[in-house]
Amino acid sequence: MLTRIVAILFPLFAITAAGFLVGRRMKPDLTHANRLNMDVFVPALVFAALANREFRITEYLPLLGATLAVVLASGGIAWLIARAIGVEAKTFVPPLMFNNCGNLGLPLAVLAFGELALMPAVVIFMVSNLLHFSFGAWLLDHRVRLLTIWRVPSVAATFAGLAVGLSGIAVWPPLLTAVKMLGDISIPLMLFALGVRLTDARITAIGLGVFAAVMRPLIGMVLAWGILQVVELPAQEQALLLVFGALPPAVLNYIFAERYRQEPEKVASLVLIGNLAAVLFLPLALALAL
């Protein structure tokens, strides 16, 4: 079991570490690469999975509901904790509510459970991504217009993929293959870019960062376990939901904090320490899930 867990996690951490080392030595500007990833490659990955003829969104409605419950309940608990410890909720809640289901979650799902796990993993990512760009943005700035969320490329790809899948339209296989090949670029690039971005993060609130690094996976796994006692899911989806609960804070939280000027250095500390702590918590989640 230990050997299997190491074999699953090593590629993820190796690529992230490579990005971190390159970031420290060469200080590359990945602004354009990250924009391409968010605007082209990730949307291609999402669309290819949702528009696949083998994908039936109705089969994943229980997983969709369970994921939604985990994300929203995590946010509610984080808000109560923030009130209790006297921390600004807008700083503390998003990193505990929105995890790294893109950079780490998608490649981890494929490595741990095989290619067939990509579709349910994309469903999980879809729910978290839609909530992050809508409710998450509104949480930081109530002036955000939620009706413009469809302009976000990954969100637009989600709607387009769902429309194609639900309508039963068969995408020309060579075209779908081309879109999938574009999507395949996103996963290693996300991991590498995560490593590079971690070199820019400044640790200014170590105590709060360590606390959040423990609470994020702990709350997520407990909620996932509790929901699984109520919602009946296939074995693979149960494992994916449990691992989803253990994922560290999304790097996007730091980007949003910068955009909306919500104590970005504190959020950077929460994200950095949380992702470092994933070395401890992801093996635990995999040991429980496998």
| Pair of tokens at residue 124 | 């999980």
Q: Which amino acid is at 11?
A: P
Cα 205 from Cα 267, distance rounded (Å):
9
Measured distance CA(240)–CA(30) in Å, rounded? 30
pLDDT of residue 204: 66
CA 253 to chain centre: 11
Is residue 99 helix, strand or coil?
strand
First to last CA, the chain: 8
Crossing angle for the helix pair 153-167 and 42-50, nearest 10 degrees? 10
Taking the C-alpha atoms of residue 220 and residue 69, their distance in angstroms, rounded to an integer, is 10
Please state the separation of Cα 112 from the chain's center in Å.
Answer: 16
Q: What is the pLDDT of residues 69-110, one digit of tens each?
A: 999 999 999 999 999 999 999 999 999 999 988 778 888 898
Can you name the residues that pair with 99 across neighbouring β-strands?
249
**Which residue blocks in 55-205 are alpha helix, DSSP H?**
61-85, 89-97, 106-113, 118-131, 137-140, 153-167, 173-198
Q: What percent of the chain has pLDDT over 70?
A: 96
The angle, 0 to 180 degrees and rounded to 10, between the axes of the packed helices 264-289 and 173-198 is 120
- Under 8 Å between Cβ of 269 and 207: no
8 A C-beta contact, residue 222 and residue 73: no
Nearest-angstrom CA–CA distance, 65 and 61 = 6
Supply the range of the domain harboring residue 35.
Answer: 2-289
Q: How many domains does the chain have?
A: 1
pLDDT in tens, 111-153: 889 888 888 998 898 899 889 888 888 888 877 776 677 778 8
Q: Looking at residue 21, which CATH number applies to its domain? A: 1.20.1530.20
Collapse the DSSP code of 86 into the 3-class scheme (helix H, G, I; strand E, B; otherwise coil) and give the result: coil
- Asked whether residue 225 carries a pLDDT value surpassing 90, the answer given is yes
pLDDT in tens, 26-51: 988 888 887 888 889 988 988 888 88
**Rounded Cα gap, residues 121 and 7, in angstroms:** 20
This prediction has a pTM of 0.81
Q: What is the pLDDT of residue 211?
A: 93
List, as one string, the DSSP characters of 167-199. HT----HHHHHHHHHHHHHHHHHHHHHHHHHHT
State the Cα–Cα distance between residues 181 and 68, nearest whole angstrom. 29
- The one-letter amino acid at 231: V
Q: What is the mean predicted confidence (pLDDT) over 229-239?
A: 94
